[in-house]
Amino acid sequence: MSRIFTLLFVLVSISVSAQLQSPADYLGYELGTEFSRHADVVDYFEHVAEQSDMVIYNSYGKTNERRPLTYAIVSSPKNLANIENIRKDNLKNAGLESGSASPQVAIVWLSYNVHGNEASSTEAAMNTVYKLITEKKAWLENTVVIMDPCVNPDGRDRYVNWYNQVKSTPYDKKQVAAEHSEPWPGGRANHYLFDLNRDWAWATQVESQQRLKIYNQWMPHVHVDFHEQGINNPYYFAPAVEPYHEIISDFQREFQVSIGKNHAKYFDREGWLFFTRESFDLLYPSYGDTYPMFMGAIGMTYEQAGHGRAGLGIMNDDGFELTLIDRVAHHTTTGLSTIEMASLNATKLNTEFKKFFQNGNLKYKSYVLKGNSDKVNALTQLLDKHEIKYGFSNGGSVNGFSYAQNGTSSMNAAGALVVSTNQPKGKMVKALFEQDAKLSDPLTYDITAWSVPYAYGLDCIASTSLVSANGSNPAFKQINQVAPSSIAGYIVPWNSMSDAVFLSELLQNDIRVRFSEKDLSFNGKKFNKGSLVITKSDNRTNNEFMATVTKIANKNSRDLYVTTTSFSDNGFDFGSSNIKMVPKNRIAVLKGSGTSSLSYGAIWHFFETQLKYPITSIDTDDFSVRSLKDFQVLIIPNGYYGRVLTDDALGDLRTWIRSGGKVIAVGRALSSFVGKDGFSIARNEDPSDDSDDSDDSEDSEDTDNATDDDKLIPYDQRERNGVKDLITGSIYKVTLDASHPMAFGYDDSYFSLKLGGSSYKFLENGYNVGYMKGDAISVSGFSGDEAKAGLSNSMIFGEERMGSGSMVYMVDDVLFRSFWENGKLFLVNSLFFVNSNVAGL
């Protein structure tokens, strides 16, 4: 008998422990009383999926720091048994897959914790899934909920691990307490310090790239991006503020209001404050609300008070204690309320979703693009990420709006890339490709220009008639070169980042490479300035020279032009002093307090994942000019360096430059050199809006610079009037000195993304490589009249020689969010070609 009792006891205890547990029972603490580590959150969702027949839990990849990226599919058991058909029917309804369907199931996607230090929402995700499958099952009869419990696990754990290490027990609610002051760079961004809520459209980060694959499989009807804002704000939910992008439909606008009113009902019942319609617009396509909007969903941002300051509890300025428990409750409420509204309107959501993808009335039917084949390939890779269709033209002339001419023109379309709007994702094509987004209000939260043809450096004609595209990609080639028996050297043209990656790999394989400062001609073939010259003579001690170069060229799809003589057609032979050695420079980059984490992160990501060339990052706290003795190049990211670049340090830096060092200063870092002994950079006027990182915080700040007239503007018109000083990311035409090595690979003009109104005079003692002479020409985006006028006669890129070394000034940050593909070669040129006489060999 006793054995049977024992057996029975074991069976009972197994069945008890195997039941679905609440987050509190599973984790061992009430939600909101601790911050949960990402691994614990994953464990809880796995537990839920094991115990419930309403949850499927999958991984969609890994972060840079190898944490899992995951999503749960939550619905009724009946729907889950049929989930693949539900998914496909939705794509058929939108025309994204062949066949027809009239689905009735709503699809809601909830994205939590995209900003790592806005950490209440991942806690709310656990609460929400539990309530959904225990208390709100009825909604799941006609609704599928996709939950991504943490979009940014690396950022979340950076915040949570730090907080758990430093918090007092019990927590200290005083604002001044150390647990409310995150150290640089904070937990907001991902591993490479990119803001993932600015990366949806560009998908430069592994989190975005892997998420978009799943997103495209599902294409939800409603998408919520959960955030947090400053501790003194009440809760924000949709409807959003103007400007809305014009492709957003009336239904999308209306349904945001319906959802907002449903939230309001619950918030009013509890006595919780909220606001709507005063902030967070819907224009820039790369957010977690706009991107889904442009893909047919109701995309929304929800903002809880909290953020990296709030910890488990903090006293706000109004004298109320803001607790994590409350933050979790609010985000849980809006998440559930959203699902409720989707369930109540499932049929309508499906019929309106279908309508969104019918694009017959868009003005431009085709965007036709031509240019360097590497740049075309880079753009097709972007289109592939969004599963946007494209083709190549068989030929013929195309008329329409020319991006380069900023007016009507024509193009021979033979071989051109054609992206048309007569496809389901045509509205996203319009949003990405159109020259200038229509702006109903210039007071926006983000940049107002991003036009892809300019970003990728391609000629583009927007045509009002459909251009056929059944040709093949002329750039596609299989390269399988074999090493020749005898050569004088190789020549490779210099046009694109693909060429730069090739150079980087050669240098790291100890191949000695030259570049030409003159146009070359060999055996009747012409090569532009900047072309790489790889001579047998320079590599004569390397027996593997030809095999290595051939292998690296094949790997990078680079055509090697082989010449058996170094005797040129036009006088510049391989031994010419105009064909200079590329130095294998050792590069230092400043990071840490003072630097913009976004700017540093973009540089870090660029070198590690794009150029694949080593850098050494030096913390500003540890930096002294002495530490540069082993380096040839110092990159100073956008930032404020008053504490680091003191007059003494600048004196030392000048000495280092004069002895052959090169400093590349980006964005606001330039202001550290203005008016300093030995540096000739000067501002055109007083600094106006110099903020180009409105995305460093949840609240964008418009700087007000009061002139005399401004002082008489009424109280309630101040913000509106500030618009005239504002540039919020717009595209300007820049003239280039194409004979300068910094501009090799470019023509004599370039379209630059300007992020603010900072304006610098032409260098008096230096080379003005990129500049705007006379009135500045803006082709896209919003610029206030005064800010635009301030840009006339200003330098954009410049080099100042000092002794044997150089200062390189980059007013515009070409690595901003890593999406301005056509600007990146300026940085590579600056690293390796500009003043290359001092070689770090």
Strand partners, 563: 489
Cβ at position 799, least distance to Zn ion in Å? 38
Whichever of 327 and 654 has its CB closer to Zn ion, that residue is 327
Show Cβ contacts of residue 28 under 8 Å, excluding neighbours closer than 6 positions. none
Q: Can you tell me the distance from the alpha carbon of 573 to that of 765, in angstroms, rounded to the nearest whole number?
A: 32
611 backbone φψ class: left, alpha, beta (φ>0; ψ -120 to 50): alpha
Phi and psi at 452, nearest 5°, equal -60, -40
Kindly list the distances between the CA atom of residue 368 and the CA atoms of 357, 384, 391, 472, in Å, as whole numbers in the listed order: 22, 17, 10, 14
Closest CA to 61 of 213, 170, 183: 213
Whichever of 120 and 420 has its CB closer to Zn ion, that residue is 120
What tokens does 832 get?
């390796």
Cβ at position 77, least distance to Zn ion in Å? 35
Whichever of 196 and 383 has its CB closer to Zn ion, that residue is 196
Whichever of 229 and 794 has its CB closer to Zn ion, that residue is 229
Cβ at position 156, least distance to Zn ion in Å? 12
Cβ at position 114, least distance to Zn ion in Å? 6
What tokens does 505 get?
């790999």
Whichever of 598 and 635 has its CB closer to Zn ion, that residue is 598
Cβ at position 184, least distance to Zn ion in Å? 18
Closest CA to 300 of 291, 309, 308: 291
Whichever of 696 and 800 has its CB closer to Zn ion, that residue is 696
Closest CA to 435 of 415, 419, 410, 455: 455
Whichever of 118 and 689 has its CB closer to Zn ion, that residue is 118
- What number of H helices and E strands is found in the chain? 22, 35
Alpha helices in 593-713 (DSSP H): 597-605, 647-658
The single-letter code of the amino acid at 732 is: Y
Whichever of 598 and 644 has its CB closer to Zn ion, that residue is 598
Show Cβ contacts of residue 624 under 8 Å, excluding neighbours closer than 6 positions. 649, 652
For residue 60, give the 3-state DSSP assignment: strand
Whichever of 226 and 401 has its CB closer to Zn ion, that residue is 226
Cβ at position 227, least distance to Zn ion in Å? 3
Cβ at position 118, least distance to Zn ion in Å? 5
Whichever of 121 and 420 has its CB closer to Zn ion, that residue is 121
Whichever of 114 and 222 has its CB closer to Zn ion, that residue is 114
Whichever of 305 and 743 has its CB closer to Zn ion, that residue is 305
241-244 vs 281-282, strand pairing mode? parallel
Q: Can you tell me the distance from the alpha carbon of 196 to that of 188, in angstroms, rounded to the nearest whole number?
A: 9
The single residue listed with the structure tokens 């090595």 is 741
Binding site residues, Zn ion, CB under 5 A: 115, 118, 227
Cβ at position 195, least distance to Zn ion in Å? 9
Whichever of 47 and 227 has its CB closer to Zn ion, that residue is 227
Whichever of 199 and 799 has its CB closer to Zn ion, that residue is 199
Q: Can you tell me the distance from the alpha carbon of 462 to that of 410, in angstroms, rounded to the nearest whole number?
A: 10
For residue 639, give the 3-state DSSP assignment: strand
Cβ at position 694, least distance to Zn ion in Å? 13
Strand partners, 59: 70
Residue nearest to Zn ion (CB): 227
Whichever of 237 and 732 has its CB closer to Zn ion, that residue is 237
Residue 830: Cβ-neighbour burial (10 angstroms; 0-12, 13-18, 19+): buried
Whichever of 125 and 743 has its CB closer to Zn ion, that residue is 125
Cβ at position 698, least distance to Zn ion in Å? 5
Cβ at position 119, least distance to Zn ion in Å? 11
Cβ at position 132, least distance to Zn ion in Å? 23
What tokens does 772 get?
């705007």
Q: Can you tell me the distance from the alpha carbon of 320 to that of 728, in angstroms, rounded to the nearest whole number?
A: 35
Element (H, E) at 5: helix 2-17
Please, how many CA atoms are within 13 Å of residue 201, restricted to the half-sphere of its CB?
25
Cβ at position 446, least distance to Zn ion in Å? 13
Cβ at position 180, least distance to Zn ion in Å? 17
Q: What is the largest CA-CA distance in the chain?
A: 105
Cβ at position 303, least distance to Zn ion in Å? 7
Cβ at position 197, least distance to Zn ion in Å? 6
Phi and psi at 458, nearest 5°, equal -115, 145
For residue 361, give the 3-state DSSP assignment: coil
The full DSSP string for 272-336 is: --EE-SSS-EE-STTSTTHHHHHTTSEEEEEEEE-GGGTTTEEE-TTSPEEEHHHHHHHHHHHHH
Strand partners, 514: 533, 581
Closest CA to 325 of 21, 43, 34: 34
CB 527 within 8 A of CB 491: yes
